[in-house]
Amino acid sequence: MLANDVANQSLTDAIALFQRVRDGGLDSTRTAAATIVESLRQGGKLLVFGNGGSAADAQHTATELVGRFLRERAGLAAIALTADSCLVSSVANDYGYEQVFSRQVEALGKPGDVALGITTSGTSRNVVAGLEAARARGLRTIALTGRDGGPAGRLADVHVNVPSEVTPRVQEVHMALLHVICELVETAVIAEREPAAVERKR
């Protein structure tokens, strides 16, 4: 296939998947955002985690909340469990990579917090273990998945699914949905805490 054909097909497939997700309804995305807002309102925090590209999405999401997404407001409590390479490598070495997120959830999570696990397959064992640890400690759980959602989707209180077998396409929609969640959270927080906040252009 020629390079131009590859590029066109990639964008065509991405557009089709975005439309499929939009047309399928965004109730779970709105519920995920509302779950995070409720936790923040009660003094909780978001713990977010995933592997590879999903690790980057986790860090991106935490950054948007601790910093800002579109508007000036107070920082929001969010921690990416992928960001500390010393901690991740230590737990992986001492206990196994399957426990790199669950160990942190056990250490940092408390009832009322939210755990958001990102997995394009829905089957990542360390993400599933992190969600299991979160449920055991009384955290609310959100899974952002691809394919049919797998065990991560079935385990979570809130399941946001992108129904595709193609990992890059799933990741593209994941990032858009995480941006939607960040904007919904930010808008709700500003409405409650800082109704006169003015949007600041980036």
Residue of 146, 81, 87, 150 whose CA lies nearest to 113:
81
* Cα separation, 50 vs 127, whole angstroms: 6
| 30's tokens | 């709105």
**Bigger pLDDT: 194 vs 34:** 34
* Cα separation, 148 vs 69, whole angstroms: 30
Cα–Cα distances (Å) from 69 to 25, 53, 75, 76, 190, in that order, read 23, 20, 10, 11, 12
Burial class (CB in 10 A: 0-12, 13-18, 19+), 202: exposed
Percent of the chain past pLDDT 90, that is, above it, reads 92
pLDDT in tens, 26-75: 999 999 999 999 999 999 999 999 999 999 999 999 999 999 999 999 99
Residue 200 predicted with pLDDT over 60: no
Confidence (pLDDT) at 198:
44
Confidence category of residue 201, pLDDT binned at 50, 70, 90: very low
Residue 122 predicted with pLDDT over 50: yes
User: Taking the C-alpha atoms of 122, 124, 127 and 129 in order, what is their torsion angle to the nearest 10 degrees?
Assistant: 110
Confidence category of residue 2, pLDDT binned at 50, 70, 90: confident
Confidence category of residue 197, pLDDT binned at 50, 70, 90: very low
